[in-house]
Amino acid sequence: MTRYETIIELGDKFVKLIGKGFVPVHLLDWKVYYEAYLEEKQVQKSKRQAVLTLMAKYPISEKHLYQIIKFMEN
């Protein structure tokens, strides 16, 4: 099970854990970026093209997006 699947499985409990300070707030941002990546991946031909499209939409670097993708897929 990947980290992303675990976050999805937690559902509302994930947000509660963030609110209580058990989970860092940035993971919620990472979840949003990763979900946007998954949507773009369905449209784009390659992982790189999906990342480049996200870079145009969000104020985030290419390296950071790849780190988020790697984190969520482990």
Mind listing the pLDDT tens digit for each residue in 35-51?
999 999 999 989 999 99
CA dihedral 57, 63, 68, 43 (to 10 degrees): 50
User: How many whole angstroms from its chain centre is CA 65?
Assistant: 8
Where are the domains positioned within the chain?
3-73
What is the mean pLDDT of the segment spanning 11-34?
97
Percent of residues, the chain, with pLDDT higher than 70: 100
Q: Are 7 and 16 in contact (CB under 8 A)?
A: no
Q: Are 73 and 30 in contact (CB under 8 A)?
A: no
Q: Are 32 and 59 in contact (CB under 8 A)?
A: no
